Amino acid sequence: GQQLNQSPQSMFIQEGEDVSMNCTSSSIFNTWLWYKQDPGEGPVLLIALYKAGELTSNGRLTAQFGITRKDSFLNISASIPSDVGIYFCGIQGAQKLVFGQGTRLTINP
Amino acid sequence: EAQVTQNPRYLITVTGKKLTVTCSQNMNHEYMSWYRQDPGLGLRQIYYSMNVEVTDKGDVPEGYKVSRKEKRNFPLILESPSPNQTSLYFCASSILSNSPLHFGNGTRLTVT
């Protein structure tokens, strides 16, 4: 099946720092998605990207769809305690959504 | 409120005892899917359903069954659970197969 490489696997930062994570795939895809999973809950969609080169923001979050259509990154600016959780990238195929391994974000106050 | 509801949230059972995890969505979505989440492996798809009476295997279907008799329900069945099926399970749905998924809150299953 399709494989995604998401990095880093975990991050430990101070409150107020910026965060950056990325995903790469071995194939070209037309849709990249970023989800966040809070502790004890299911993943929730943060940002959807549908066009190569597209840069989309959602509050303090910014995500970009790579120009090669094989990668995407997610940035979080000025992190706050509620940003803690696991972030997943996902690629949308015809019949399923394939996820990266996740980036676990921990914030020290 | 639009949502995907899974039950139970937590389940501890023994090897070989059949169990069913229910999933229901109230958004009239055509597409539904089951994932399991394991540390270091992310979310892996077990089964999916494109519409009523249409189901197909995902990446890790062994040991699982599903059914889609009605549009809103998509139960996950473990006929003979084994310890390697201890995991966190998520049901999800979307309008179409290529639309972003909406997830339930998960079912944590422990098989001893």
What is the arithmetic mean of pLDDT over B63-77? 98
Distance between B52 CA and the closest CA of chain A, angstroms: 15
What is the pLDDT averaged over residues B78-97?
Answer: 95
Task: Give the mean pLDDT of B89-98.
Answer: 92
Residue A1 binned pLDDT confidence (cut-offs 50, 70, 90): low
What is the rounded CA–CA span in Å between residue B64 and residue B18? 11
Local structure of A83: helix, strand or coil? helix
**Hey, are the CB atoms on B41 and A9 less than 8 Å from each other?**
no
Average pLDDT, chain A: 92
Is residue B22 within 8 A of residue B37, CB to CB? The reply is: no
Type of residue numbered A64: Q
Q: Please give the pLDDT value at position A29.
A: 86
Q: Which residues contact A13 (CB under 8 A, 6 or more apart)?
A: A19, A79, A105, A106, A107, A108
**Nearest CB partner across the interface for B103, out of A43, A48, A102:** A43
Please check whether residue B104 touches A, CB under 8 A: yes
pLDDT score for A2: 59
Asked if the Cβ–Cβ distance from B100 to A1 is below 8 Å, we say no
**B68: nearest Cα among B109, B15, B102, B24:** B24
B50–A94 C-beta distance less than 8 A: no
Per residue in A68-85, pLDDT (tens digit) is 999 999 999 999 999 999
A39/chain B closest Cα distance in angstroms = 10
Amino acid A3: pLDDT: 77
CA distance B112 to chain A (A): 22
pLDDT, residue A93, reads 75
